[in-house]
């Protein structure tokens, strides 16, 4: 993996990731991030600057707008919006929006059980649902009912040692100071278009974006919330520093190199054994010109992908 590993050898057959490669992993606590580099696909609008929440027409009904004059907006899978004094909402699915288009998501879910008020277009910051909720949220795409995720949120809160309530902001806001540090604890590489995440040594997800700018705008939401929550829950305690068996500086450098090679080999092995290439069901959900948005489901993997002529443009796949 130090010499970059081709990604298409590791992932499901229907998803062509030719041209994408893995870089050198980074670790922060329980979270490992393997950078993905690859070709930048032109013609896509980044989510923070291009995609806007235009209004909420009712609980569980949220409208997004592609405000860019050109370029397709791929709505990131499981994106959610937070505002003070309004019901925070999250989406259960991705979508494709042409320039200037609006789309009303009638299958959105409220993630703040007892907070009244509707989100408005101002002061938005977005998150991605924590990995623990994503399989359920994906399962609930197309299902109307703003309260549909509250029980799962309450269970997650309980597992986090927080009151068992359908309030995701208990994690997102109250734990924000520690979660947002993942944005700095891990550091994207120049030109990075995606990342593969492991939590506590186990594959947790693969995120692929059309271009580096799109990925950079997704980075905080992915690192801090989609994967950071699970990593925070399993943050390892301090470990005493064991000296290497080295009698000179040269031997020390060699010992460090060997140790790192071993660790990289271990990470590569854990990715290889994550059963990512097992047969998957790919169900097309939407089209926009040559773009196809599909839901991928396999025994240990789920998520959505956007392809262009069979090549992956966007992917958000997570362990289930």
Give the binding site for other proteins (CB under 8 A).
Answer: 24, 26-29, 177-178, 181, 183-190, 238-239, 241-244, 246-249, 251-253, 255-256, 259-260, 263
- Minimum gap (Å) between residue 54 Cβ and other proteins: 24
85: left (phi over 0), alpha (psi -120 to 50) or beta: left
| C-beta of 244 vs 288, nearer to other proteins | 244
| C-beta of 28 vs 135, nearer to other proteins | 28
CA angle (236 as vertex; 231, 241 as ends), nearest 5: 140
- Minimum gap (Å) between residue 295 Cβ and other proteins: 33
| C-beta of 113 vs 189, nearer to other proteins | 189
Please identify which residue in the block is written with the tokens 């994690």: 171
Token output for 3: 């010499």
- Minimum gap (Å) between residue 239 Cβ and other proteins: 6
SS3 128: strand
- Minimum gap (Å) between residue 29 Cβ and other proteins: 7
| C-beta of 46 vs 166, nearer to other proteins | 46
Residues facing 73 on adjacent strands: 45, 97
Helix/strand number for the chain, H first, E second: 9, 20
Beta-strand ranges (E) seen in the chain are 5-6, 21-22, 26-28, 31-37, 44-45, 51-58, 61-66, 72-75, 79-82, 89-90, 95-97, 102-105, 109-110, 125-128, 192-199, 202-208, 281-288, 291-298, 301-308, 311-319
| C-beta of 143 vs 246, nearer to other proteins | 246
Helix or strand (DSSP H, E) at 154:
helix 150-159
| C-beta of 143 vs 178, nearer to other proteins | 178
Cβ(102)–Cβ(72) below 8 Å: no
| C-beta of 104 vs 255, nearer to other proteins | 255
CA angle (284 as vertex; 41, 68 as ends), nearest 5: 40
- Minimum gap (Å) between residue 312 Cβ and other proteins: 25
Please identify which residue in the block is written with the tokens 């399989």: 135
């Amino acid at each position: 993996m130090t010499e970059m590993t081709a990604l298409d050898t590791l992932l499901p057959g229907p998803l062509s990731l030719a041209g994408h490669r893995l870089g050198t992993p980074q670790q922060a606590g329980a979270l490992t991030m393997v950078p993905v580099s690859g070709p930048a696909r032109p013609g896509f609008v980044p989510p923070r600057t291009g995609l806007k929440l235009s209004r909420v027409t009712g609980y569980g009904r949220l409208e997004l707008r592609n405000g860019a004059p050109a370029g397709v907006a791929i709505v990131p899978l499981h994106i959610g919006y937070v505002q003070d004094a309004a019901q925070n909402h999250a989406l259960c699915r991705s979508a494709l929006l042409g320039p200037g288009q609006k789309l009303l998501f009638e299958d959105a879910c409220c993630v703040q059980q007892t907070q009244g008020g509707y989100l408005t277009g101002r002061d938005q910051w977005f998150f991605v649902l924590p990995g623990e909720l994503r399989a359920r949220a994906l399962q609930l795409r197309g299902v109307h009912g703003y309260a549909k995720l509250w029980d799962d949120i309450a269970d997650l809160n309980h597992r986090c040692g927080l009151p068992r309530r359908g309030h995701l902001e208990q994690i997102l806001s109250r734990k924000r100071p520690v979660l947002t540090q993942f944005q700095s604890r891990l550091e994207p590489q120049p030109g990075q278009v995606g990342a593969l995440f492991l939590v506590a040594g186990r594959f947790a997800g693969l995120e692929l974006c059309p271009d580096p700018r799109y990925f950079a705008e997704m980075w905080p939401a992915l690192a801090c919330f989609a994967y950071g929550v699970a990593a925070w829950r399993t943050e390892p305690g301090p470990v005493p520093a064991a000296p290497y068996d080295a009698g000179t500086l040269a031997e020390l450098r060699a010992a460090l190199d060997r140790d790192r090679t071993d660790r990289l080999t271990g990470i590569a092995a854990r990715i290889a054994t994550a059963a990512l290439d097992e047969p998957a069901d790919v169900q097309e959900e939407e089209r926009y010109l040559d773009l196809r948005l599909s839901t991928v489901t396999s025994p240990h993997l789920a998520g959505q992908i956007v392809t262009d002529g069979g090549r992956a443009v966007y992917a958000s796949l997570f362990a289930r």
